[in-house]
Amino acid sequence: MFHTSNHAPSHTIHALELGRMGNFIYVIHDHATNRAAVVDPAWDVPSILATATQHGLRITDILLTHSHFDHINGVEALLNASDAQLHLLRAEAAFWDRYLDLPTLHDGGDRIQLGDTDIEILHTPGHTPGSACYRVGDQVLTGDTLFVFGCGRCDLRGGNPEQMFQSLRRLSERLPSDTIVRPGHNYGITPTSTMLEQIAGNPFLHFDHSPEFVEYRMHLHDREEPYRPEQRPHQHPH
C-alpha cells in the first residue's frame, strides 16, 4: 500500500506500508535537491528503491526511530544500494550495541538538513531507551512511540512505561494541535491522524499521572486493532 502527502512546499513524505506487521516506511523527498531520507527501511528494499526511482530521488540519508528488527531489517541492503548516511540517537546506539559503518549519532534536539528540508529529532524514550520521533514541517514521524489511538509496547527489553508516559506528555504539550501524526505501524482506523485527534481520542494521552498510565499500559490495556478513539473519562474531584 502506498500513501503520499504534501503538506509543505519544501518536501513531500511518501509512505509505504510493507511487511507482515503493517510497518510504515517513509521517504522524505526534498524538492530543491531531490535528495531523500528513508525512515526505518525494512521488509522490501526493492520497493523503497523503486519509489526513489519513480520520483527521481537520490537516497542520501537513513533515519532510524529505533533498533527493533521490524524497523531495521532493510538497513544493510539499503546502505549497499546507496551512498546514504545512517542517523540514530546516541542512546539507541548504546542500547542496540551493534557496529555499523560510522553512523551519525545524535541527541534529542539535533536537526538534520536534507536540502531545504529541516528535520528535528525528538528523543522519546519508552519503547526503547533511544526511540526518536522526527518532526518535518507540520508532520511528525513517531515510530513506535505514538500510534493512531495507541502507543508502543513497554514490556520488551529496554522498554520503560514511566518514560513512555513522559514522552507522550511532551509530544502532546509541545506539538501544535494540527500536526499530522505518521506512526511506525498501521494499527489504527486511519493511517494518519492529528495531535488534536490523538489528545481527544487516544486513551494513552488521557492520563495525568504516571502510576495510572503504567497500570493501564502494562496490565489493563487489551484493546484490539484497529485502534479506535475513546472518550476521555470524566475526572472526578477528590
The distance of Cα 234 from the centroid of its chain, to the nearest Å, equals 30
Asked if 222 is an active-site residue, the reply is no
Given 11, 14, 71, 123, the catalytic residue: 71
CA distances, 179 to each of 69, 74, 221, 236 (Å): 28, 28, 26, 30
14: left (phi over 0), alpha (psi -120 to 50) or beta: beta
Q: How many helices (H) and strands (E) does the chain have?
A: 7, 15
Asked if 138 is an active-site residue, the reply is no
Given 11, 29, 123, 127, the catalytic residue: 127
Give the DSSP per-residue string, 163-181: HHHHHHHHHHHHS-TTPEE
- Residues 6+ away with beta carbon under 8 Å from 209: none
Nine-digit cell string for 192: 494518519
Asked if 66 is an active-site residue, the reply is yes
Paired sense of beta strands 58-63 and 85-89, if any: parallel
Given 11, 14, 66, 123, the catalytic residue: 66
Asked if 107 is an active-site residue, the reply is no
Given 11, 14, 29, 68, the catalytic residue: 68
Asked if 71 is an active-site residue, the reply is yes
Nine-digit cell string for 203: 486513551
Cβ 17 vs Cβ 24: under 8 Å: yes
Q: How far apart are CA 106 and CA 87, in angstroms?
A: 7
Nine-digit cell string for 180: 499530522
Given 31, 44, 55, 70, the catalytic residue: 70
Asked if 127 is an active-site residue, the reply is yes
Given 11, 14, 106, 185, the catalytic residue: 185
| 237 three-state secondary structure | coil
Residues classed as catalytic: 66, 68, 70-71, 127, 144, 185
